[in-house]
Structure 1
Amino acid sequence: MDNSNKSLGQKIILGIQHVLAMFGATVLVPALTGLNTSITLFCAGCGTLIFHLITKKKVPVFLGSSFAFMGGIIAVIGNSRIGDPDFLEKLAAVKGALIVSGMIYALFAGLIKLIGYEKVNKLLPPIVTGPIIIVIGLRLSSTAINSAFYYNNEFSLRAVLVTIIVLTTVICISVFAKGIYNLMPILFAIIVGYIVCYPLGFVNLDPVRSAHFISFMDENVRTQLFLMPVFRLDAILAIAPIALVTLIEHVGDITTNSAVVGKNFMVDPGIHRTILGDGLATAFAGLLGGPANTTYGENTGVLAVTKNYDPSIIRIAAGFAILLGILGKVGGFITSIPTPVSGGISIVLYGMISSVGVRILINARLNFGNSRNLMIAALIFVLGIGCDSIPVAGTVTISGLALAAIAGMLLAAILPEGNDNVLE
């Protein structure tokens, strides 16, 4: 879609839509690990701008908090929280480990630049990338359903009602609205959902009341922000090896983004640049005390729904994320968006990601009467969806998605292609 005719005001509104899509998942990681939410949002925005700088401003990707690193971070921090005597010591070790993780990304980016994209591409043919992208969306689906249909861990008919209204709004705006309104189904759905939630008792404004106007006025935030990293071996071994797994997930996400936009970002600006951008963003987040960054499926889902692929809109969203990290009251308001609303939005976004994977298989005209194609896809689906994670060494785990990707790549490389691999 040509986005050159969008006014600045329209781009700002579209950027806000991307911020709202990523917000819930991004702030969940610090909530579960003990890291600071304001610093996390600030790092997500800055990390996204770093990524765009490295990728020549060509790739419409937003970077948010990585869930893959949560296990390693929790293994180091444990149950310590700000105010505990050992929290800052553990946070310093996490900072150092995340910086090392970012450098691992940079190392692999250099290796890919040396060996060439073609060899990476051979490892990830459509029979591997299509099912992996389907798995990426479906793995997230249970999270969407739990948010949409449950409230305070209990099934709620009121939450179901809100979800139905949110989904109806998204569908109607996407299908029937014209012009600029057609590009903002997520934003309209959140507004409608929030209004409906208020009389139902789902809206909690405590995060707004308790937030500082300027987040960095909080002494605890400043202490964490300027804490010097410590490169402790046990923390590095618990966290840094996870980068080897998320590198595979990164390739899958960029493949998804390329499929949605209709451009091969693996070639231009190059997968080595996207990996380097992701790595430098993670190292930056580690330096300041935020969680590792990663490409965000929620924002890829927004691209798929709106068909608006202008990278400058993502950079506007990054600016808003930085602003939210600084302005505590605004961040508090977005935190108050009820889970049935975000869950209803997620149902659409995660489903759109899986649909992109189906489109890749259709466009490649793969023959699923061919046993080779069936075996590769079957293994990826079951390992990717059925396996959450498996322990590798100590606290280090490998996700089911990474395991599925490795298995798919190995089978695609070993099994010979028959004459009926592709439909005529």
Structure 2
Amino acid sequence: MNTEQTNLSSLRRGVVGVQFLFVAFGATVLVPLLVGLDPSTALFTAGIGTLIFHLVTKGKVPIFLGSSFAFIAPIIKSTELYGLPGTISGIAGVALVYFIMSALIKWQGNRFIERLFPPVVVGPVIILIGISLAGSAVDMAETNWALAFISLFTAIFVSIMGKGLFKLIPIFSGIVAGYIVALIFYDVDLASVRDAAWIGLPQFVTPVFSWEAILFMIPVAIAPVIEHIGDVYVVNTVAGKDFVKDPGLHRTMLGDGLACCVAGLLGGPPVTTYSEVTGAMSITKVTDPRVIRIAAITAIVFSLIGKISALLKTIPQAVLGGLMLLLFGTIATAGVANMLKNKVDLSDTRNIVIFSMTMTLGIGGAAFTWGEFSLSGIGLAAIVGVVLNLVLPRGKSSDKSQS
């Protein structure tokens, strides 16, 4: 009887693990499709990165790492400036931020990070991430507005009306709906899918070291680092445990950083914690880290099926553009919500200066150039926001909004 119960328990863990991957699948493959990377590589690095994270955190924290939306705009711009191999080294270099933050948390505790990256800095950076590619979303959607709106409205419908796990996969649902309509009413060339091998390795990209690309990417990591901290606290609540103390926030940060480094070295996008998977844990009431590791292994297996990668690459641009219209707006809204939740006082002159300078430099495309080095866009805006927060004198209302 005990053996039967164990087998049933193992079977349930396997099923739920695949469900968790299903929740993260759409978002994980969307990022590489938008920035010109191989979606199979993203699945592979998400799986490997998650396993690395669990190794560093002693297998205690039920977190899945997937492609980070924060880096979509920087990867596209960096590829234009430094080429894809150079950009890949920049992606790997993002890990430096995580390593430094891990060391600072170990040394000074969590309050130091909260002081360095308060909501008045993080909020506008997240808003910039969301609106920076608004033009690209419209350009992609314009290739076929009918497909774009079908994908968009499907994602909206699932987000609002969906129940249970189904509510957590609006992006995946939008891709499926748009793709089916494209297959029925439009010409989708499936020759590459027919020609693709069933089993094959992802398209790994060899990085070419570039300090310029690394320094271009590093500042963008501010938002994912803060998101990481917030997600760990949420997972604490869902699982009913204190992972901030055991294994420690410094370990979760280190694990995420190592995962980003490996992802970059293999040619995948940077990875980050996934709130969707946390939501799935809340619904299923399953918080066993072994389930997340099953999802990670399943992602690796999927990445080795050549026809999956070929199929994903045939998704029409309009389908992706329709989803981007919602996605990037949602990210920008999350930045606003972050500031409202933390009661940032925008009647305070200090906060107005930080917010306005960050937004103006980011939206305006300001660039700082020194020799061959150039820092612009979100990266430059994020650094300016952090510096202003450190040097501007604080009033009573500023202190209250950042406490």
Q: TM-score, structure 1 length as denominator?
A: 0.71
Are positions 1:45 and 2:71 aligned together? no
Query: Deviation string for 1:276-319 (max 9, x for gaps)?
Result: 223322443465x42463438xx558878998697767655543
The answer on whether the counterparts of 1:64 and 1:293 sit within 8 Å (CA) in structure 2 is: yes
Partner amino acid, structure 2, of 1:26:
P
Distance 1:361 1:95 in 2: 32
Alignment of 1:6-405 (within 5 A): 9=15, 12-27=18-33, 29=35, 31=37, 38-55=40-57, 56-63=60-67, 68=74, 102=95, 105-106=98-99, 109-147=102-140, 149-151=141-143, 159-201=144-186, 203-216=188-201, 235=209, 237-242=211-216, 244-254=218-228, 257=231, 272-285=250-263, 289-291=266-268, 293-295=270-272, 318-387=296-365, 390-394=368-372, 396-405=373-382
Identity %: 31
| Match of residue 156 from structure 1 | none
Distance 1:265 1:356 in 2: 24
CA RMSD of aligned residues (A): 4.2
Distance 1:372 1:206 in 2: 58
Structure 2, gaps ≥5 residues long = 1-11
Q: 1:316 to 1:160 in 2, by over 3 A?
A: farther
- Aligned residue for 1:295, secondary structure, equals strand
| Match of residue 154 from structure 1 | none
The answer on whether the counterparts of 2:27 and 2:67 sit within 8 Å (CA) in structure 1 is: no
Deviation, structure 1 residue 328: 0.3
Q: 1:259 to 1:277 in 2, by over 3 A?
A: closer
Deviation, structure 1 residue 327: 0.7
The answer on whether the counterparts of 2:155 and 2:174 sit within 8 Å (CA) in structure 1 is: yes
Deviation, structure 1 residue 382: 1.5
Partner amino acid, structure 2, of 1:15:
L
| Match of residue 82 from structure 1 | none
Structure 1, gaps ≥5 residues long = 1-5, 79-90, 152-158
The answer on whether the counterparts of 1:19 and 1:320 sit within 8 Å (CA) in structure 2 is: no
Distance 1:305 1:378 in 2: 37
| Match of residue 4 from structure 2 | none
The answer on whether the counterparts of 2:41 and 2:268 sit within 8 Å (CA) in structure 1 is: no
| Match of residue 389 from structure 2 | 412
The answer on whether the counterparts of 1:117 and 1:267 sit within 8 Å (CA) in structure 2 is: no
- Aligned residue for 2:189, secondary structure, equals coil
Q: 1:40 to 1:61 in 2, by over 3 A?
A: closer
Distance 1:169 1:100 in 2: 37
Distance 2:22 2:31 in 1: 16
Q: 1:274 to 1:306 in 2, by over 3 A?
A: closer
Q: TM-score, structure 2 length as denominator?
A: 0.74
The answer on whether the counterparts of 1:62 and 1:314 sit within 8 Å (CA) in structure 2 is: no
Partner amino acid, structure 1, of 2:335:
G
The answer on whether the counterparts of 2:122 and 2:223 sit within 8 Å (CA) in structure 1 is: no
Q: 1:391 to 1:100 in 2, by over 3 A?
A: same
- Aligned residue for 2:326, secondary structure, equals helix
